[in-house]
Chains A and B, each alone.
Chain A
Amino acid sequence: MSTLILNGRTVAIAPRPGQCLRTLLRELGAFGVKRGCDVGDCGACTVLVDGTPVHSCITPAFRAEGRSVTTIEGLAEGDRLHPVQQAFLDAQGFQCGYCTAGAILTVSSLNQAQRQDLPAALKGNLCRCTGYRAIADAVAGTTHAERGLAGEACGHSHPAPAGPAIVTGQARYTLDVDVPGLTHLKLVRSPHPHACIRSIDTSAALAVPGVIAVLTHLDAPATLYSSGRHEIAADDVDDTRILDTVVRHVGQRVAAVVAETVAAAEAGCRAVAVDYELLPAVLDPEAARAPGAPLVHGDKGPESRIFDPARNVVAHLAGEVGDVAAGFAAADVIHEETVRTQRLQHAHLETHCAIGWRDADGRLVLRSSTQVPFLTRDALAGVLGLPRDQVRVFAGQVGGGFGGKQEMLVEDIVGLAVLKTGRPVQLELTRAEQFAATTSRHPMRVRVKLGATADGTLTAFEMEVLSDTGAYGNHAVGTLFHGCNESVQVYRCPNKKVTGEAVYTHTLPSGAFRGYGLSQTIFAIESAMDELARKLGLDPFALRRRNVIRPGDPMVAHSLHAHDIEYGSYGLDQCLDLVEQALSEPGEPPPDGPQWRVGRSGGWAGAWHWP
């Protein structure tokens, strides 16, 4: 036993030989110390050791022996906030707040020179929500929050109710609770893109001291579901099992080990022996539709609602209004191009995580980092075969989601583990698991072909989309639909044709991601509009002004079918004016020298939203 001084109080510690300071401090109750990456990159775990900021995840715990450690909980003096805490409140220098403790502690240690060069001083503090502007405002002492406006709230900048809790480290994110008897779950994941599981030998894992249970497909219900969550569950395809007999991407879970400690769960995972029968895999979305391609969900029937399992097509869309061929025939200029967009991870700083237990009434309770607690509750009840009122899912403060948490990626296995063991179970994905085994933005290939008369009036608009949903179809349908909808509706053109397919491949599943399919198609369409303007010799803004819908125009994508969405007010013209004006104002001058070119471009992006 040794001691350290934690926020002014001497506490006894017994760090494990390989323990990092981050987990030691959390075990001491300092839940304000966050974990974003656990590899020294993000700064969410920043604490002050004898006044010097360090990343506690890469600091050996024993090095804090005899030192004074300040966490966010110890920065204020009683009720008086530290000036940096107050500055973050005044500027509202946070959104989800998960990065905020680390940012405040880091800023509190900066000297004047460092404050003058924030990109360098704060490069070890990642924030996925604010875009850093709000943080820079906090450092600069800018006040955005307005107070005391009872009765005239509208149009004012109100501070987030959670603000005081966030800047003092009192906000409780998903895992910031002390649950007596908590056990830990770790996952065995597939090293193969496509394989059939012949057998799993769990005996060695069960013999590891501290291991309580090992779950495999033998323990999992046969029920198929979608990890993507919508109010109407049938919007998504049912192609996923909690633990399956077939693995369809590298990183898919194969078994779950529940143990008294994370260390024992990890050791248990290493001891699980899986016998795989390797199967051919298709990794390329173009190849996936070709005859003879390995099928990802060839075993699924119509009840899964997959569009065509025999061609790896999970979702399909096609429609034409007017006569596109005639429209191109009438065009003076035609522009056609194809763009490809890449996979992207949301990288919310709080990884997917949940704690599950049974409450006093025997109900299954999950405290989860989710954007959709109620939809997850409904799904869990269905998958685990429980009445809806026997399941409760709730969220604490959520450390970012960006769509990635409109997904049931941990609650199902945690719920199953609680039912099997009767113990409270926690699963916290690592950053590496986030990248390798959660969802990403759908990679897409988008071909756009536009025709216009010499004055810039669109005569034909054609788009063809191929979306790669990866191994599972969560959100494949919705992102394809949206991607092919609002992006097209914004332009008036009598002749439009859109075709789109989302295909399975043996790769990481895609999922909901900020923009929901639109970012990819809008990038393609707006790029094509710019090129069309260039070919026509028109200003890109003029081309858009000529063709965007105006008040009273219907919103038409690829069918005349009436939608239940209308626009209540119209500001597109003002948006174009404002952007054009902002672009024409003097900005940062280009560097000296003839080798620098200056580009200027504009674009539009938007989406349907309703309360």
Chain B
Amino acid sequence: MDLNTVSALHRPRTRDEIGPWQAGDAWLAGGTVLFADPNPGLSRLIDLTALGWPALALTPDGLDIAATCTLAELEEPLLPPGARIAGLFPACCAALYGAFKVRTAATIGGNLCTALAAAPMAALIVALDARLTLWPAAGGSRQVAAADFILGLQRTVLAPGELLRSILVPACNMDLRWAFRRIALNDLGRSAALLIGTLAADGRFALTVTASTPRPLRLDFPALPDTAALLAALDAAIPADGWYDDVHGAPAWRRAMTQLFAQQIRSELAEGGPA
């Protein structure tokens, strides 16, 4: 939709050109959220794509994903040949309710910063234990772990004027074994529960829960727990009223699906044994 209160567009080519942050400013990435939501408080858009960040780069540290990388670009990530986690990327991209035409514009940064419960990119980066680089308004940069970035529904650690620059999937996690489960009221609808389990070569297991809770949740275990321990850990981490509630699914159902998927993921990863 037209954002009729926006009277200025800023297209910085370098970080220096960004200039001071003002009330009414918004970072513009793909625009699939900004242009879909009336917000009369907006007066200026700062176009992040003008900065020309390379979408994906494979470095000795891991896969470096620019915040402006689109979901379409992420569907075929630049990974070392045979990397086990390769299949997780298209699975998470396809979990966006938006069709392929939305995925060509939607960015991973916009998805994370919007911080909806059903943010599939949050599931991806939390499961892969990624590290985020932020650019504070005052200059310099700081890092946060993926699991700490989203604080709650549509709330992140970003301060005003701060932006998300990039996401690093560490090299040591390229060969995690993983299992993925997702459900929505309509097969192709908005996720009501999206869970990813990962199993590392040394036997460490992690369960990432998204969509059924307002913010992503990651449970770490030194080894694959038995079913009872896994369910107990879920219960301990998510209070009875901690399940997400909106038109895309009732909380009780989300809880039931989460528990079911947790068990299925555990079994699937148990079958292959530690990687």
Contacts and interface: CB of A to CB of B under 8 A. Distances in A.
A381 B94 CA distance: 54
Interface in A14-45: 16-20, 23, 38-40, 43
Interface string A100-143: 00000010000000100001111111000000000000000000
Contact of A58 (B8, B42, B44, B102): B102
A262 interface: yes
B36 A62 contact: no
Contacts, number: 98
A270 interface: yes
A59 B1 contact: no
A55 interface: yes
B42 to A, nearest CB: 7
Given A53-B101, A119-B188, A124-B100, A18 B42 contact: yes
B5 interface: yes
Interface residues of B, number: 31
A16 B45 CA distance: 11
A266 B40 CA distance: 9
The CB with the most chain A CB atoms within 10 A, among B5, B42, B100, is that of: B100
Nearest to A262: B4
Contact of A60 (B5, B31, B44, B99): B31
A57 interface: yes
Contact of A23 (B2, B6, B9, B37): B2
Given A123-B188, A270-B40, A58 B35 contact: yes
A100 B86 CA distance: 37
B196 interface: no
Nearest to A261: B4
Nearest to A270: B40
Contacts of A17: 6-9, 44-45
Contacts of B102: 40, 55, 58, 124
Nearest to A21: B35
A10 interface: no
Given A18-B42, A123-B99, A124-B101, A40 B32 contact: yes
A342 interface: no
A384 interface: no
Contacts of B14: none
Contacts of A266: 4, 40
Interface string B201-234: 0000000000000000000000000000000000
A238 B182 CA distance: 51
Given A18-B2, A57-B1, A39 B36 contact: yes
Interface string B223-257: 00000000000000000000000000000000000
Contacts of B94: 120
Contacts of A432: 38
A46 interface: yes
Contact of B35 (A57, A106, A120, A262): A57
Contact of A39 (B9, B28, B37, B105): B37
Contacts of A62: 9
Given A40-B98, A54-B101, A54-B105, A60 B188 contact: no
Contacts of A55: 101-102, 105
Interface of A: 16-20, 23, 38-40, 43, 46, 52-55, 57-60, 62-63, 106, 114, 119-125, 261-263, 266-267, 270, 430, 432
Closest 10 interchain pairs by CB? A124-B99, A18-B6, A18-B3, A263-B4, A17-B9, A39-B36, A38-B1, A58-B35, A123-B99, A58-B32
21 contacts: A16-B2, A17-B6, A18-B2, A18-B6, A20-B3, A38-B1, A39-B37, A40-B102, A54-B104, A57-B36, A58-B1, A58-B31, A59-B35, A60-B35, A60-B45, A120-B94, A120-B188, A121-B99, A124-B101, A261-B4, A430-B1
Given A54-B105, A114-B100, A124-B102, 5 more contacts: A23-B2, A39-B1, A57-B36, A58-B31, A261-B4
